[in-house]
Amino acid sequence: MSDQLKKKIVKEIKVDLDKCIGCRACEVACSGFHATPKYSSFNPSRSRIRVVTDMLNDVYVPVRAGEYTSAECTGRHSFKIDGKQYSECSFCPTSCPARDLFKEPDSGLPLKCDMCEDIPPLSEPMCVQVCRPGALTYEERVEYRDETPSLGEMEIGLQALVDKHGMQKVLDSFARMSKKG
């Protein structure tokens, strides 16, 4: 098995909520880094990291833009941690229709954190560099992963049908459907 394990470098930004002072320097730096030309314009609305802030509830959560989704959650959790109320969305990195975080203000297209990929590579993503209070820290970690090819989308669907109805039934149905053309 071990020869199938592949070495992977996982880049991680650790967030210490207790150290965040809510200054949004991370947003400023991120928007500057991703401007063209670099640092030519600044606009937190284009940032791929946002500090979700609720001052009166003492909530400050820097959250990084992740994947796009076309549908919002059907329901939400809300968390109470140490007497403070957080909504699920406070921690969620998704660019989703339920909120206007992580969307290009002009086009509405989703934004996603790329860990400041650059040539030559930065020592740390820019948001981490400017976060002097230390709420954001950067870590690279080596992981070994099993990289055996996984099933494609259609195969997953077919497997589910086989599991449910049995192979023979699926084959019969498939034959019948293909005859109909």
Partner 1 sequence: MRYSETGFNLEINLTRGSIDKIASDPETVGLYLGGEGAAAKMLWDRVPPEVEPFSPDNLLVFSAGLLAATPVPGANRTSVSSISPQSNRYVNSGLGGFWGPELKQAGYDRIVIRGKASSLVYIWIHNDKVEIRDAAHLQGKSSLETAVLIRQELKDQKIQVAAIGLAGENRVYQASIEHANSSASRGVGVIMGDKLVKAIAVRGTKDIKVAQPAELFELCNRHYQQIYDNLHCGDILVREDDDAWHVNNLPWGNANRRAKGFWSEELKEEWAVSVEREEIHYQWENYSQETEEVHETVVDKSRRLRGTGCYNCTKDCHQAVYLPGSRIYFLKSYSKLAYAMAAYEQLEFDYDLLAALQDYGLDEFAMPQVIAFALELYGAGILTDEDLPGFPADFKGRFSYLLDKIARREGVGDALANGVYLAARQIGKGAESYDHSAQKIEQVPLKQEMPGYPYFLMYATGGKMSITQLEGSFPQIPVPDRKTREAFVKKWDAAPEKFKQWFLEWEPGQQLSIEAAVNIADWNEAMHYVDEALGICPLLSSFRGQFGGRAPYHGNNLPQLISLATGIELDTDGLLEITARNRNLIRAINARRGLRRIEELAAQEFLEIQAAELEQLLDAYYEFRGWNNDGIPARDTLDGLGLGCVSEELMRRGIL
Residues that bind partner 1 in the complex, under the rule CB under 8 A? 18, 20-25, 28-29, 32, 35, 37-46, 52-58, 60, 100, 105, 129-130, 132-133
Name the burial class of residue 92, with classes exposed (0-12), middle (13-18) and buried (19+) by CB atoms within 10 angstroms of its CB: buried
Given the complex with partner 1, which of 22 and 162 has the nearer CB atom? 22
Q: Are strands 84-87 and 49-54 parallel, antiparallel or unpaired?
A: unpaired
Given the complex with partner 1, which of 69 and 87 has the nearer CB atom? 87
CB of 64 to partner 1, least distance (A): 17
CB of 16 to partner 1, least distance (A): 11
Please name which of 27, 19, 2 lies closest in space to residue 148, comparing C-alpha atoms.
Answer: 2
Which helix (DSSP H) or strand (DSSP E) does residue 155 occupy? helix 153-165
Given the complex with partner 1, which of 46 and 48 has the nearer CB atom? 46
Given the complex with partner 1, which of 53 and 69 has the nearer CB atom? 53
Which helix (DSSP H) or strand (DSSP E) does residue 86 occupy? strand 84-87
Which residue, chain included where needed, has tokens 């997953």?
A: 156
Strand pairing partners for 76? none
Given the complex with partner 1, which of 58 and 140 has the nearer CB atom? 58
**Whole-number Å distance between alpha carbons of 121 and 119:** 5
CB of 127 to partner 1, least distance (A): 11
Please name which of 77, 79, 113 lies closest in space to residue 95, comparing C-alpha atoms.
Answer: 113
CB of 164 to partner 1, least distance (A): 43
CB of 10 to partner 1, least distance (A): 26
Phi, psi at 155, each rounded to 5°: -65, -35
CB of 45 to partner 1, least distance (A): 4
Structure letter (DSSP) for residue 70: S
Given the complex with partner 1, which of 18 and 155 has the nearer CB atom? 18
